[in-house]
Structure 1
Amino acid sequence: MEVKFNPNQLKKARLMRGLSMTELAAKSSLSRESISKYELGATKPRGESILKLANALKFPVYFFGKPDIVIPMGTVFFRSQAASTNKLREMQKIRLELAAQSLLYISKYIKLPQLKIPEPLNIKIEKITPEIIQRIASQTRKMWQLGNGPIKNLTNDMEANGIIITETTMHSEKMDAVSTRINDVPLIALTDNNESVMRRRFNLAHELGHILLHNSVENVFDLNNNKYKNLLEKQANQFASYFLLPDESFTDYLVAGSMNFFRQAKLYWNVSIAALIYKANALHLLSEKPIHLSAKANFKKSLEKT
């Protein structure tokens, strides 16, 4: 009986597990040379070798015999762009590809919610102003009938409006969300590292920002310096802030500036204290008292923990 084998599937499985050929050779008791030939299609592995590879990579044997499935995928955005490594990016791209295949299969039997989002921007990122970002955030709230107050369940709201959300292992604390488009359907993958609910909420809003603002970006890592990558992240953060904390409503709510008040506001708005301070600072609502200076100075650090 002939054993089916697709070299591309082996490479995908290896990269998804973050292994080099040498590392896979050690785990599978096969030679690096053999694995290289398998991936190039120069040699076809026997059934026993496929079983060793499957056990080492923790994939079912049938995975290695599946044919290639080409699914149109848009730009992949990583949170954060600058901190992600080539290895981590490759791992997550393949995870997104496999998620896309599952989505394609499911959509044959289940009618998914219709996509309902504002028309994504198609302009150069340098021309995206805070006013444009705020307008799109407001349009999204209006389209989804969210009002101007706290959003109760952002995950449900996004999924109800056609955005696919999944969860995956990121293998790095520096990367906690990834997003792309599959056949023009937005797909967001979140980390499974037990991040706080409020951190996850901000990540979702951040990735939604990429989806709506950065349609013109073909490949983030074709950008030749960190200036543009940082601008992408800044704009996505601005969108998340406008979307989760509308200016007028937040200004009316902010009647005090103490840490005790921010702790209460955190529960009301369902966002981190760091995000609240970021918003208040952006609106010039904070005084220059020591506690505020300290909070602003440590915003980036506290955003990861609050």
Structure 2
Amino acid sequence: MEVKFNPNQLKKARLMRGLSMAELANKSSLSRESISKYEQGVTKPRGDSILKLANALQFPTIFFGKSDTTIPMGTIFFRSQAASTNKLRKMQKIRLDFAAQSIRYISDYIKLPQLTIPDTVNLEIEEISNKIIQRKAFEVREIWHLGNGPIKNLTNTMEANGIIITETTMHNEKMDAVSTWANGRPIIALTDNNESVMRRRFNLAHELGHILLHASIENVFDLNNNEYKNLLEKQANQFASNLLMPDNAFIDYLTSTSMSFFRQAKLYWNVSIGALVYRANSLHLLSENQYLYLQKQISANHWRKHEIDDEKLAQEHPIIFKKALNMLLNVNLVSKQDLKMTLGFPVEDLETIFGMSFADDVHSYNEPHLKIIK
């Protein structure tokens, strides 16, 4: 019997694991030439070779026989595009595709929250002014009925307004959030890099800035110089600051410029001390000496990535995938086994996307049902 095999699925699995053909050959005890021919579709691997590839890549064998299911996406924005490598971007892009496929699966059964966002800006980067950015952040707060105070849970607020947020199995400190459009919705994939709740919230707001401000960008990496790329990031950062700390409310709140006050403000606004200082400086609430002094304190305390009091706020997690799947499981519309067979993803990725264990479903099918009669 001929084994089903799709060469594109092998390449996708290899890229997601961040392996070259030579590295996969070494891990699978197959030749690089064989793997090259498999990916080109020149030859098909036999069953034992597929098992070796599956074991080396930690993918279920069923994945390699799936037809092409890549979902069309819009421009992909990488939160740490300057630091991330092409290999890392490919790894996270495939995980983003996995999340998009999972949403499409759920959407066949469940009506997701309506997408409620302002109109996107369709201007060239240099035409986007500070006033436009400020206005767009205000519009988000207005249509989401957030008022002028701190946003309690940004992750779930964004989900409630139709933005898809997913966690991924990507473990890399050089990669933060990734965003794009898929299935007619913005989708943001988060990297497991041990980030603080404040950093995650700012990353989400930053990605929302890209989604709303930079609809005219076809490919970030086609921009011909770093000046444009830096401006792109600066605009998204400004949007995030405006969204999380609106002007008037933040100005009224800031009654001191001491570090002890900024520590209190961190727990009130749910943003990092670094973001608070940046916001205060952008609103001209700090003198140059005050700003430099606070920056030196942040550096001296090694607070650029992790800060004091980070542990006092619980991390935010998306719930849309877990809630949707639980609804389907409770009414027996689907099973976890159905999901595993349909999507074909590694169990680790399914568990991360859907926020639940899939191990308890392993033996739930094709078992004899016995009954004591005496």
TM-score clears 0.5: yes
**Counterpart position of 2:46:** 46
**Counterpart position of 1:121:** 121
- Is 2:281 the counterpart of 1:284? no
**Counterpart position of 1:272:** 272
- Displacement of 1:110 in angstroms is 1.3
- Displacement of 1:193 in angstroms is 2.1
Instruction: Compute the RMSD of aligned alpha carbons.
Output: 1.5
For residues 21-62 of structure 1, the C-alpha deviation after alignment (integer angstroms, 9 at most, x for no partner) is 000001000000000000000010001000110010010000
Alignment of structure 1 residues 22-37 onto 2, 5 Å: 22-37=22-37
For residues 272-300 of structure 1, the C-alpha deviation after alignment (integer angstroms, 9 at most, x for no partner) is 000000000001111344x6313246879
Which AA in structure 2 matches 1:100?
Answer: A
- Displacement of 1:175 in angstroms is 1.4
**Counterpart position of 2:229:** 229
**Counterpart position of 2:155:** 155
Alignment CA distance shift 1:117-1:130 (3 Å): same
Identify which range, 41-50 or 280-289, moves more after superposition. 280-289
SS in 2 for 1:266: helix
CA contact (8 A) 2:177 2:189 kept: yes
- Displacement of 1:87 in angstroms is 0.5
SS in 2 for 1:250: helix
Aligned mates of 2:49, 2:173 — CA distance in 1 = 34
Aligned mates of 1:233, 1:129 — CA distance in 2 = 14
Identify which range, 44-53 or 70-79, moves more after superposition. 70-79
- Is 2:311 the counterpart of 1:305? no
Aligned mates of 2:160, 2:136 — CA distance in 1 = 19
CA contact (8 A) 1:75 1:220 kept: yes
- Displacement of 1:303 in angstroms is 4.2
SS in 1 for 2:221: helix
- Specify the structure having the higher radius of gyration (Cα): 2
Instruction: Work out the percentage of aligned pairs sharing the same amino acid.
Output: 75
Aligned mates of 1:295, 1:87 — CA distance in 2 = 36
Aligned mates of 1:298, 1:183 — CA distance in 2 = 45
CA contact (8 A) 2:112 2:162 kept: yes
Identify which range, 97-106 or 12-21, moves more after superposition. 97-106
Alignment of structure 1 residues 172-183 onto 2, 5 Å: 172-183=172-183
Q: After the TM superposition, which segments of 4 or more aligned residues of structure 1 sit over 3 Å from their partners?
A: 296-303
Which AA in structure 2 matches 1:21?
Answer: M
**Counterpart position of 1:240:** 240
CA contact (8 A) 2:104 2:183 kept: no
Which AA in structure 2 matches 1:74?
Answer: G
CA contact (8 A) 2:259 2:294 kept: no
Aligned mates of 1:298, 1:206 — CA distance in 2 = 25
**TM-score normalised by structure 1 residue count:** 0.96
**TM-score normalised by structure 2 residue count:** 0.79
Which AA in structure 2 matches 1:24?
Answer: L
- Displacement of 1:264 in angstroms is 0.3
**Counterpart position of 2:261:** 261
Which AA in structure 2 matches 1:181?
Answer: W
Identify which range, 249-258 or 177-186, moves more after superposition. 177-186
Which AA in structure 2 matches 1:25?
Answer: A
Aligned mates of 1:225, 1:171 — CA distance in 2 = 29
- Is 2:9 the counterpart of 1:9? yes
SS in 2 for 1:117: coil
- Displacement of 1:103 in angstroms is 1.1
Aligned mates of 1:294, 1:170 — CA distance in 2 = 36
Which AA in structure 2 matches 1:23?
Answer: E
Aligned mates of 1:302, 1:242 — CA distance in 2 = 22
CA contact (8 A) 1:76 1:219 kept: yes
SS in 2 for 1:179: strand
Aligned mates of 1:292, 1:127 — CA distance in 2 = 29
Which AA in structure 1 matches 2:218?
Answer: E
